[in-house]
Structure 1
Amino acid sequence: MLPGCGFARLLGVSRLRPFRVRYWLLLSRICKGGVMEKTLRGRCLCGAVEYQVPDALEYAGYCHCSECRRFSGSAFSAFGGIAEGNLRVVKGERHITSYRKSEDSLMCFCSVCGSSLFSRKLKTGMVHLRLGTLVDTPSMQPQAHLFTGSKASWYQIEDGLPRFDTLPS
């Protein structure tokens, strides 16, 4: 039986042909605790920056504050929160430029195409990914609308998700 995360046992395979051994070893590297860990891929518009995170968002939502609207260029910013240690830039780290919005927030974007990628929350150690930059669909979908007290007057929220005038307490 091959070592790894148990796929060989799960499928009842005890011996593999040599050309399949590499496949099983690759699978074992992307397993965690016997369960396949899905990886989400993200990128900017031009492809100069690519990143990966585990599909383990701690929260997700829509932020309607004026600053997120300006950074996203839209009525709101769809974001997902994940611990900063889980963000792995796999291509183009040198193309990530940042703007220090406040003592707590560092806004990061592609210096080539200008895509808004994520913001680093310095006090909490979290990263807010811009969900629109994801190539893959996360398991967690946005759960609420935040800062609706300052939302764009021309946009109507009609999805039935909870709404908060500011941050929920």
Structure 2
Amino acid sequence: MSEEKTHQGSCFCGAVQLAVKGEPEAMGYCHCEFCRHWSAGPINAFTLWKPEAVSIVSGAENIATYNKTPESYRKWCKTCGGHILTEHPSMGLTDVYAAVIPGLDFRPEVHVHYQETVLPVRDGLPKQKDVPAEMGGSGITLPE
């Protein structure tokens, strides 16, 4: 019997500690306007997990939440403002930002919402117009 690997993470100041267990459902890059604004960068690196694989180890009282839409509940640390994760209830997944989990071997598989990119990337990965069909998107792939 093998044990699932657990990765530790935290906000910028460390007041909020989290753990993810097992393997993410997907890893990649999001180019949508919301993620760009939220992350203050041209691309957001994501890791998607089943909600039961994500746990707040300490500092839950220090987490604030904002949702611009019902599809995304963005969470951050009230002390440092460091972004922690985004819950996506309609997808049944939680995005723990790749940068928050330093020990995870980040292996991106896809670019999503590439039609909104402001920083084209030529890395050979599929570029989805929105999101893959199995996640409720069009499944349309765009050229690099």
TM tier, smaller: 0.7 to 0.9
Q: Which residue of 1 aligns with 2:99?
A: 132
User: Does the alignment pair 1:69 with 2:33?
Assistant: no
Tell me the distance in 1 between the aligned counterparts of 2:93 and 2:68.
Answer: 15
Q: Which residue of 1 aligns with 2:83?
A: 116
* Contact 1:43/1:135, CA 8 A, preserved across alignment: no
* Contact 1:52/1:89, CA 8 A, preserved across alignment: yes
Q: Which residue of 2 aligns with 1:146?
A: 112
Q: Which residue of 1 aligns with 2:136?
A: none
| Aligned with residue 163 of structure 1, among 127, 130, 133 | 127
* Per-residue deviation, 1:105: 1.2
* Per-residue deviation, 1:137: 1.8
**More deviation, 59-68/36-45:** 36-45
Q: Which residue of 2 aligns with 1:102?
A: 69
* Per-residue deviation, 1:74: 0.8
* Per-residue deviation, 1:63: 0.3
Tell me the distance in 2 between the aligned counterparts of 1:131 and 1:55.
Answer: 15
Structure with the higher fraction of residues in helix conformation: 1
Structure 1 unaligned regions, length at least 5: 1-33
TM-score w.r.t. length of structure 1: 0.74
Equivalent AA in structure 1 for residue 120 of structure 2: Q
| Aligned with residue 22 of structure 2, among 55, 64, 75 | 55
* Contact 1:84/1:125, CA 8 A, preserved across alignment: yes
Equivalent AA in structure 1 for residue 110 of structure 2: A
- The ranges of structure 1 where at least 4 consecutive aligned residues each deviate by more than 2 angstroms after the TM superposition are none
Identity of aligned residues (%): 29
- Cα RMSD (Å): 1.3
User: Does the alignment pair 1:45 with 2:9?
Assistant: no
Q: Which residue of 1 aligns with 2:52?
A: 85
Q: Which has the larger radius of gyration?
A: 1
Equivalent AA in structure 2 for residue 40 of structure 1: H
> For this pair of structures, how many residues does the alignment match?
133
Structure with the higher fraction of residues in strand conformation: 2
